[in-house]
Chain A
């Protein structure tokens, strides 16, 4: 049969046809443009409008940036340089102000020979959160994480090392008390682990630190709170707010989930009151009222008061994030903990919280980004954050009248910091999802 077939057909192609080139409209840049920019009349319109907007913005900004003056000592000098080039005073940026004052925008009044300290503290913090986020880091590194807040505080504010050592000791004491009393009674142990360190901090830590320091003075140059400023201040307030608010936030989240009516009500009221009122009102409270609520004669500097208020504020937000984490955990995990016969504190500590907190980490990072941006509000109570410094710099006769350059720079730095943190949070989220699988 086969040979007959071969004979009936006169011609059989035994090679493939060469591929012909796709039509011009279906390849390369043209195709891309057609599909992505001009696929329909509406899209054509959108594209034209977008191009027009882009053109307007770039026409305004580009010459301004390319004509920028980098070397000048004052705004008037800047304007003279621009005028010498034949440009008006608004045709070129005067970026000399950034060159002259960038260190103040970054570090505030921090002594310039000590700039390494806040930088080191920041790096330390970045290293210290690694063990929390990644399981491949050795578990021993968690001790560094525990020590980081104290070391960071010491690096930024300086002074004798014994102060923070003896304060850090409070945690050790609390843990020791807990272990000692745990055998006797769980609740007693918890109460003791909270009360004893507080009494120790109030009455023993200060004198002890003073005496040890007299014997063995180890310390670095002290820096006062109001020497902090610029982005250093913003980062410190943001970080301190988040780190300090974590324990309180977790407690509030647990309280809100709890079956105990009074505790639940209290947690809900606290969270809703804090979240219902703008941060700026809380900051004014910190600035104007906090001293009223404390025992007569106590007084903090404003930065500490702000940190306290921001801590309470972000605790409410963290509580909601953690609550989300707790809710996302499968009920099976709670039931498994019960089935193992673990009591409430143990089941929370060993089973629920480690998982729930891990789920909450991206949310916590996002809360941090929000808080970090909101630290700009401290300018209204007279702290010298980056925006506050734009005012201070403009109050100097040299730079009086400058505007866009400073705000542009501050905005750019904020954008870089927040954007990278946001990307990091997204990456983390994916990473954590992968670990779950």
Chain B
């Protein structure tokens, strides 16, 4: 007879916290969180004591006080009497603008250069190599400064357009002026504008000022355009339906084109749309849309620099597609450009997109170098002049950091959704 020994009692001993793998991870996490909390408390405590010593406090009410400085490029109404908060928003919009334009241009440049670098044309592939290596290996800041200087030195100043035999003339039938202060392009004004003030009649022989435009006008035009876009899509869907049912596709292109153009054209006509070209007045060109040199230089530099990186990504993406794919496409009798567009690029995209996202993020963050050319982005307004005038560096930098963080997370979030949608669906 043997008595069964009792199973070991599952009592908890303190040493299990260290030796038992079940509890050890818990122990480590608790210790880690205590250390992290202590570290944060230490930093915050230091900050409070230091601020106290300097007689400062943390307050965000400086955002509500008058900014006092002017901003040249503003996408919303702003003048020096507005608040620092509004100045910050003007800066944010400027950052978003250049980042958006930059991402698009960088993609176009990058894909072109990446494909051309693989071209059979010796000269062009070597030139593209020079471009890619040149931009990748020299700091962006230097490129921004060089391109900015090139544009200021290389283009005519507005006063060169003056006189009987001007040193420079406007291009595209006197509609576009390329100067070293930026490019002036025509804008559209509305004679019967809804929101804008009517042009005041001028008495003493001066030209009447050109018609203005307001947000309401544009909202109306874009709204109609948007509606007609959906209209033509409906026509297309119906045509698709008919094709599926009967096998015959009704010809709809003229209908769709008509729906797309005619309503908008009518609205424009009713509003009295008119192209307003820039012209020289006083020191500068007036009217038209002024794309400032700072914007163009920053935009060019950012997109050329990022484009060089994208070119490398595209090149390696294309090379990652196995040669059999293009050979198969050729065997099917596809032309080289079809092969590229229909076979290679779609497959290469899957390799290209993840690093492309991080390049977009880099471009957005690099747009903060705007202050090198005096482009008033959020770092120059909120993180620059505002901090400098109010002495609120802690609060200002905090807001600035937060903005960039949220923007980065947003971009990577959106791009990741896109990436997941084009990703190879594995079984």
Direct contact of A and B (CB under 8 A): yes
Complex: A53 Cα to B128 Cα, angstroms:
12
Partner of B139, one of A185, A272, A373, A403: A373
Residue B13 is within 8 A (CB to CB) of chain A in the complex: no
Complex: A266 Cα to B37 Cα, angstroms:
11
12 residue pairs from A and B, CB less than 8 Å apart: A46-B119, A46-B124, A185-B18, A260-B29, A277-B408, A281-B383, A373-B138, A373-B139, A376-B141, A387-B142, A418-B138, A422-B133
Bits for B210-232, please: 1 = Cβ < 8 Å to A, else 0.
Answer: 00000000000000000000000
Residue A276 is within 8 A (CB to CB) of chain B in the complex: yes
* A280 contacts across to B, CB distance below 8 A: 368-369, 379
Residue A47 is within 8 A (CB to CB) of chain B in the complex: yes
Asked if A272 and B36 make an inter-chain contact with CB atoms under 8 angstroms apart, the answer reads no
Asked if A278 and B28 make an inter-chain contact with CB atoms under 8 angstroms apart, the answer reads no
Asked if A414 and B139 make an inter-chain contact with CB atoms under 8 angstroms apart, the answer reads yes
Residue A284 is within 8 A (CB to CB) of chain B in the complex: yes
Q: Which of A241-294 contact B (CB under 8 A)?
A: 259-263, 266, 272-273, 275-281, 284-285, 288-289, 291-294
Complex: A47 Cα to B368 Cα, angstroms:
37
* B393 contacts across to A, CB distance below 8 A: 288-289
Asked if B141 and A407 make an inter-chain contact with CB atoms under 8 angstroms apart, the answer reads no
Closest to A374 in B: B139
Bits for B115-145, please: 1 = Cβ < 8 Å to A, else 0.
Answer: 0100111111001000001101111111001
Residue A410 is within 8 A (CB to CB) of chain B in the complex: yes
Closest 3 CB pairs of A and B: A36-B122, A276-B408, A418-B137
Least CB distance from B388 to A in Å reads 10
Complex: A46 Cα to B51 Cα, angstroms:
63
Q: Using a Cβ cutoff of 8 Å, how many contacts connect chains A and B?
A: 150
Residue A382 is within 8 A (CB to CB) of chain B in the complex: no
* A54 contacts across to B, CB distance below 8 A: 127
Residue B409 is within 8 A (CB to CB) of chain A in the complex: yes
Residue A134 is within 8 A (CB to CB) of chain B in the complex: no
* A39 contacts across to B, CB distance below 8 A: 120-121
Partner of B383, one of A279, A284, A376, A404: A284
Closest to A48 in B: B123
Asked if A377 and B138 make an inter-chain contact with CB atoms under 8 angstroms apart, the answer reads no
* A276 contacts across to B, CB distance below 8 A: 361, 404-405, 407-409
Residue B170 is within 8 A (CB to CB) of chain A in the complex: no
Residue B416 is within 8 A (CB to CB) of chain A in the complex: no
A379-B408 contact, Cβ under 8 Å, with A50-B127, A185-B18 = no
Q: Which of B334-378 contact A (CB under 8 A)?
A: 361, 365-366, 368-369, 371
Given A261-B29, A292-B394, 8 more A-B residue pairs with CB atoms under 8 Å apart are A259-B25, A273-B405, A275-B408, A277-B365, A293-B43, A296-B49, A373-B140, A379-B141
Closest to A422 in B: B137
* A211 contacts across to B, CB distance below 8 A: none
Residue A63 is within 8 A (CB to CB) of chain B in the complex: no
A407-B146 contact, Cβ under 8 Å, with A39-B121, A293-B47 = yes
Asked if B145 and A277 make an inter-chain contact with CB atoms under 8 angstroms apart, the answer reads no
Complex: A285 Cα to B398 Cα, angstroms:
9
Closest to A90 in B: B153
Closest to A44 in B: B121
Chain A interface extent, by class: 35 or more
* B142 contacts across to A, CB distance below 8 A: 376, 387, 407, 410-411, 414
Taking Cβ atoms with an 8 Å cutoff, the residues of A that contact B are: 35-37, 39, 43, 46-47, 50-51, 53-54, 185, 187, 259-263, 266, 272-273, 275-281, 284-285, 288-289, 291-296, 369, 373-374, 376-377, 379-380, 387, 403-404, 407, 410-411, 414-415, 418-419, 422
Closest to A404 in B: B149
* A291 contacts across to B, CB distance below 8 A: 50
Complex: A284 Cα to B123 Cα, angstroms:
44
Residue B421 is within 8 A (CB to CB) of chain A in the complex: no
Asked if A281 and B400 make an inter-chain contact with CB atoms under 8 angstroms apart, the answer reads yes
Complex: A64 Cα to B95 Cα, angstroms:
37
* B124 contacts across to A, CB distance below 8 A: 43, 46-47, 50
Complex: A373 Cα to B366 Cα, angstroms:
12
* B46 contacts across to A, CB distance below 8 A: 292-296
* A261 contacts across to B, CB distance below 8 A: 29
Closest to B133 in A: A419
Asked if B397 and A263 make an inter-chain contact with CB atoms under 8 angstroms apart, the answer reads no
* B127 contacts across to A, CB distance below 8 A: 50, 53-54
Asked if A281 and B32 make an inter-chain contact with CB atoms under 8 angstroms apart, the answer reads no
A414-B47 contact, Cβ under 8 Å, with A37-B122, A280-B379, A377-B369 = no
Least CB distance from A248 to B in Å reads 14
Residue B420 is within 8 A (CB to CB) of chain A in the complex: no
* B18 contacts across to A, CB distance below 8 A: 185, 187
Least CB distance from B219 to A in Å reads 34
Complex: A41 Cα to B65 Cα, angstroms:
64
Complex: A129 Cα to B140 Cα, angstroms:
28
* A47 contacts across to B, CB distance below 8 A: 121, 123-124
Asked if A288 and B397 make an inter-chain contact with CB atoms under 8 angstroms apart, the answer reads yes
* B32 contacts across to A, CB distance below 8 A: 260, 262-263, 266
Asked if A292 and B51 make an inter-chain contact with CB atoms under 8 angstroms apart, the answer reads yes
A278-B43 contact, Cβ under 8 Å, with A43-B120, A260-B25, A419-B133 = no
Asked if B139 and A50 make an inter-chain contact with CB atoms under 8 angstroms apart, the answer reads no
Bits for B319-336, please: 1 = Cβ < 8 Å to A, else 0.
Answer: 000000000000000000
A51-B29 contact, Cβ under 8 Å, with A414-B139, A418-B138 = no
Asked if B149 and A43 make an inter-chain contact with CB atoms under 8 angstroms apart, the answer reads no
Bits for B24-53, please: 1 = Cβ < 8 Å to A, else 0.
Answer: 110011001100100000010011011101
Asked if A46 and B409 make an inter-chain contact with CB atoms under 8 angstroms apart, the answer reads no
Partner of B366, one of A37, A278, A369, A414: A278
Complex: A380 Cα to B384 Cα, angstroms:
11
* A415 contacts across to B, CB distance below 8 A: 134, 137-138
Asked if B138 and A50 make an inter-chain contact with CB atoms under 8 angstroms apart, the answer reads no
Residue B195 is within 8 A (CB to CB) of chain A in the complex: no
Asked if A260 and B139 make an inter-chain contact with CB atoms under 8 angstroms apart, the answer reads no
Least CB distance from A425 to B in Å reads 12
Closest to B44 in A: A293
Complex: A373 Cα to B135 Cα, angstroms:
11
Residue B64 is within 8 A (CB to CB) of chain A in the complex: no
Complex: A266 Cα to B369 Cα, angstroms:
29
Least CB distance from B127 to A in Å reads 5
Closest to A53 in B: B127
Asked if B123 and A281 make an inter-chain contact with CB atoms under 8 angstroms apart, the answer reads no
Partner of B29, one of A46, A263, A284, A410: A263
A281-B408 contact, Cβ under 8 Å, with A289-B394, A411-B138, A414-B142 = no
* B68 contacts across to A, CB distance below 8 A: none
